[in-house]
Each structure stands twice: as structure tokens, then as C-alpha cells.
Amino acid sequence: MNFVAALNGFAAENLRTLEEKIRQAIGEDSFICEACEPLFKGGKRLRPMLFLLCANSVKDLPQEKSMPLATALELIHTASLVHDDIIDSSKKRRGVETANSKYGAQIAVLVGDYLFAKAFQLVAENNYGAEVSTVLSKLVKNLCVGEIRQDRSLYEVPTLAEYYTRINLKTAIFLSSCCRLGAIVAEMDKREVDNLTAYGTNLGLAFQIIDDLLDFVGDEKITGKPQGGDLKSGVITLPVIRALEVSDKSDLLRELVTGGKDVDTAIKIIQATDAVDYCRTRAEAHIESARVNLPLTLKTSVSLALEQVADFIVDRTR
């Protein structure tokens, strides 16, 4: 399911403009454009679309006001993916060769840095103001903190609280920031800004839980990533935490996941428990919390679209 296809004409129209702006942003350097092309060809554009929906939630905002920031958000997301692939030594992303695999880690780091810099250049040139810049700066900071914490705890079993802290930093804060920025640009009142931020936070928590689940049950042809990739990298996620609690083979599973051994056996142990249903139930609870936080003052079309985004998050297969 493509969530953009499930939305109204607003999304399709804005997506076409967004794609043009992304190409313009990276088009000044042919190598950067070539290096990023596989990433920009794929992807859901979830983050900029959340921003655009929230930015247009009360009245229609001119594209010249919304598109530079929407483009910056997608550039920041892409930069984070480039750096993630370096950290994880990933060979493929969205079914194609990663920048670090194709060009080496040194070039890939610089490509990611370029995208970050270009994003902040777009924000500065379009005079969004200090509040927007502060939200974006904190977003990038938290992305880095989340990655550092994850990297420093590889092959360690986190508590449930530690897991939630990590996925909040890595994913939920990004989606909540997109919603918050949209509400700020739309000049909504503080309560509405906070409500849309809470919507985005719960959306992000559900998104990451489903993402972690797909590492064990996803189809590589659809996800573009091999099954068990997190375990192979030493990243222990919610399905593992749950399986360790309920499996009669928890001692063996703990030995496998903390030692980076026999990932296939570990996956079979996890799949034999209720970990899949448990994770889906938690994700669905966050989606329900997201829906509850949608302000009643939103335009009907935007409210319905944000409901559809929530449905997409919990039902997605990639």
C-alpha cells in the first residue's frame, strides 16, 4: 500500500512539486545527484507529507512558503539514511546498492553532510525564523544521540524503557517534529501545536515498532532488506525483548542474540512466540493514541488524511 495513493488529490499534487524541489536542491552537483538518486527514487515521503498536511490543516498555505521546509525535511531524512548505512555497513537500501558500498564510507559521510547542510541552507534562505530552526537543530541532535546510544549498546538486551527511549530519539521525534513544524507554520495555537506533536510522536513509535517487526516477518523482495538484519548488526529490538520474556528457549535465544550467532535459529525461536502479535498490539495502541490527539479544528480533508496515514503505518509491509 502506498500511503500517498490513499490520500486525496492534495497529497499527489504536492508530491509532484516536492519531487521537483528535491531534484533542484541536489542538482547543483552531478555526483551528489548520482549518489543520492537511488534513495530519492524510493521512499514514502512520509515526513514532508506529514509536515505539508499539518501546515495546510487550517487554511491553504502557498507552496512557496511550505515547499522549502518540506524539501529540507526530506533531505535531513535522506542524510540520516546515508549515515545509518555507513554505521551498519549496509550493502543495500530499498533494494539497491548503498552509497557507502558503491563509493566508500568517506565519500558517503560527505554526501550525508552535504544533504544536512543543504537542508539548513533552504531553511535559512526562506526566513522561517528561530523557532523552526530550533526544532530542526534539536531533531538532528536527537537523531545523532539515538544512533550513538544504539551503537554503544550493540548485542545488549535493553529494558523496555531503554528500547522506547531509543526509538523515540531515532524515529518518533522526527515524525513529531514534522507535525510540530507544520502546526507552527500554520500559526496554530499552542494546544493544537502540542496535540499534533503528540500525534506525530505516537505515529513514530508505532512506525518504528512495525519496522522492527518487519525485520523478522517482512518479505525481502518488498522491504528491500534481508530478514534478520537488525540481529546481524547487534541491534536488539522489541520482538526479541518480548520473546525473551515468554519463550521456553529464552536462555538459548539470549545466548544467540548477545553473541551474534545463528540468526536463523534466533528468528525461528522469536517467530514461535507471541512476539509478532504483541508488537502489533503495541503499535496499534500508539496509533489509537495518535488519533485521539488529532485536533477537532483541522480541515476535514486533512483530518481524514492524517487518519489514513495512521492506518498506513500499522498496516504497512515495508
| Dihedral (Cα; 88, 203, 20, 66), 10-degree rounding | -130
DSSP state of 316: -
Instruction: Write out the residue range of the structural domain in which residue 177 sits.
Output: 3-315
- What is d(CA 35, CA 108) in angstroms, rounded to the nearest whole number? 8
Total number of domains in the chain: 1
Query: If you count them, how many residues does the chain have?
Result: 318
- pLDDT confidence tier of residue 160, bands split at 50, 70 and 90: very high
For residue 97, the domain's CATH number is 1.10.600.10
Residue range 114-159, pLDDT digits in tens:
999 999 999 999 999 999 999 999 999 999 999 999 999 999 999 9
Which secondary structure element, helix H or strand E, spans residue 92, and what is its range? Answer: strand 92-93
Give me the pLDDT at residue 1, please: 43
pLDDT at 198 over 80: yes
**HSE toward the beta carbon, residue 37, CA cutoff 13 A:** 8
- For the ranges 46-60, 75-89, 264-278, the lowest mean pLDDT is seen at 75-89
More confident residue, 91 or 73: 73
92-109 pLDDT tens trace: 777 778 888 888 899 989
Res. 6: pLDDT tops 60: no
Q: pLDDT, tens digit, for every residue of 40-78?
A: 776 778 999 999 999 999 888 899 999 999 999 999 999
Distances (CA, A) of 87 to 84, 121, 160, 281, 283: 5, 25, 24, 30, 27
Please, what is the end-to-end C-alpha distance for the chain in angstroms? 9
Mean pLDDT of all residues in 79-86: 88
The Cα 175–Cα 179 span in angstroms is 6
- pLDDT range class, residue 4, cuts 50, 70, 90: low
Mean pLDDT on 244-248? 97
